[in-house]
Amino acid sequence: MSEKHFEDITINELCERAMIGRTTFYKHFADKYEFFRFFVRQLQSDFDASNTTSADYENPHYFFMSILGHLLDFLKEHEQFVHMVLSSNLLSTLLDILSDQITFDIAQKIRIGIKKGMDVPASPEIIASFFTGAIIHTIRWWLMQKKKLPEEKLIEEVEKILFALH
């Protein structure tokens, strides 16, 4: 998928690349968009597996910055795929899938913090949803800029916001 715009890829090409027949493809996927969601979920598994950060919610500032850093590293690692997604109509799908996983991970880490006696200002689900929405929309904005802000500047700006909120 990194070689061609997604809209230009045919089911036949996907089947040829995977060395399977169309019947096998349709046994698993209704269409190429369902295949795309499957592909992104595989990337999401890679994202989760590569997140070796042991950051927990005891230091919210460090915790949220480590998530941002991990997400930016992941996007860099899959830069060719991200460019394909940006030139198609699939960015929302990609970010929605990543968003679900990030929200889940954040809420889970906050619950662990609560069990350790941490005081949190809202429910884990609301904190997770709030931060994930902010970071996903910031990343979307950053990716869509014609004159892209340097990554270091993006990180610096987000860090300033986190310090102002804390």
Residues 62-120 pLDDT 10s: 888 888 888 888 888 888 888 888 878 788 888 888 888 889 888 988 998 899 888 88
Confidence label for 51 from pLDDT (cuts 50, 70 and 90): low
Alpha-helical segments (H) within 78-148: 79-86, 91-115, 124-144
Helix (H) or strand (E) segment spanning residue 118: none
Closest listed residue to residue 63, CA positions, set 126, 109, 117: 109
Alpha carbon distance 16, 12 (integer Å) = 6
For position 154, what pLDDT does the model report?
Answer: 94
Mean pLDDT in residue range 2-6 = 72
The number of angstroms, rounded, from the C-alpha of 26 to the middle of its chain's C-alpha atoms is 27
For position 75, what pLDDT does the model report?
Answer: 85
**pLDDT above 80 (res 2):** no
Alpha carbon distance 132, 114 (integer Å) = 19
**pLDDT above 90 (res 23):** yes
For position 53, what pLDDT does the model report?
Answer: 56
C-beta neighbour count of 15 within 10 angstroms: 16
Confidence label for 5 from pLDDT (cuts 50, 70 and 90): confident
**pLDDT above 80 (res 58):** no
Confidence label for 55 from pLDDT (cuts 50, 70 and 90): low
C-beta neighbour count of 47 within 10 angstroms: 22
Mean pLDDT in residue range 47-76 = 77
3-state secondary structure of 111: helix
3-state secondary structure of 38: helix
Alpha carbon distance 14, 84 (integer Å) = 16
Q: Which domains does the chain have, with CATH numbers?
A: 37-165 (1.10.357)
Alpha carbon distance 83, 27 (integer Å) = 29
